A = this chain, B = another copy of it.
């Protein structure tokens, strides 16, 4: 195969009651990578568009590059390499899984370029290596990279064992995702979290997680709505997002089943049971941020069931 483009979507993780274990992909924003074979071994990133020079061109330091290199290494490709142009078609540092999309796209592209030997599921460890470098940490989190690669809503039961599961999601679920133009560092958003949770809050959050999953499998939108609550993480991170509670209230008032922080923020997601409600949420959430003097970008989407695709 000569040159081609792949795309891996943005993702919403945590989902109120599923801190570090739940995420889903959306349509629209994401990472596009154009690749072709090269006589130079390894990965050469020739250009990164849409990042204002903020992402490294060195493959070993770049999320997509590391993921692609890991695939090449696994496939034993030594005598040739790949050249990529990364086009970030989504904000980064936004809580929308930007690095996960890069990692998913990088691994996905490398695999196709060299004969599609691995399934998407088999690519997960390599994509996650890419995402790890962006976090600068050793802990693996799959709640963005797994849905970006596989599509759908994903439960990560065990990150180290790559034990991830696509959940059934009933037709009609929509997401409104709003990105306020402010910056939060993931490391900071993670750092402010208390190391402990009260047993009471643990039990309540678990009950909501259970309710959400049962609600999904039984298409019970009322139950989904009652379950989309976060008594642990949201109260600790809300203050990082000016106007968060007003934005959330505006979403609920506009008919959202639930609303919380996407990933580590600052993006905020609302789940609705139809496009009209998604549209209404988009308007009212954007207006609520505006009242706090904050401009924003807004996205509306069904659950993206495809994940990474060849364009």
Contacts and interface: CB of A to CB of B under 8 A. Distances in A.
Contact of A197 (B19, B21, B199): B199
A210 B209 contact: yes
A208 B168 contact: no
Nearest to A167: B214
Contact of A210 (B22, B195, B197, B203): B22
A219 B40 CA distance: 48
Interface stretch (A81-89, A113-121, A152-160): A152-160
Interface in A198-238: 198-199, 202-203, 205-211, 213-214, 217-218, 223, 226-227, 232
Contacts of A223: 157, 163, 165
B165 A214 contact: yes
A18 interface: yes
B227 A157 contact: yes
A207 B195 CA distance: 17
Contacts of A168: 217
A194 interface: yes
A167 to B, nearest CB: 6
B198 A197 contact: yes
Nearest to A161: B226
Interface residues of A, number: 38
A210 B18 contact: yes
A197 to B, nearest CB: 5
Contact of A206 (B194, B195, B205, B214): B205
Nearest to A227: B157
A155 B21 CA distance: 19
B210 A155 contact: yes
A20 interface: yes
Given A163-B223, A165-B211, 5 more contacts: A18-B206, A19-B202, A158-B226, A195-B198, A213-B213
14 contacts: A18-B206, A19-B202, A21-B206, A155-B207, A155-B214, A157-B223, A163-B226, A165-B214, A197-B199, A202-B205, A205-B206, A209-B210, A213-B213, A213-B217
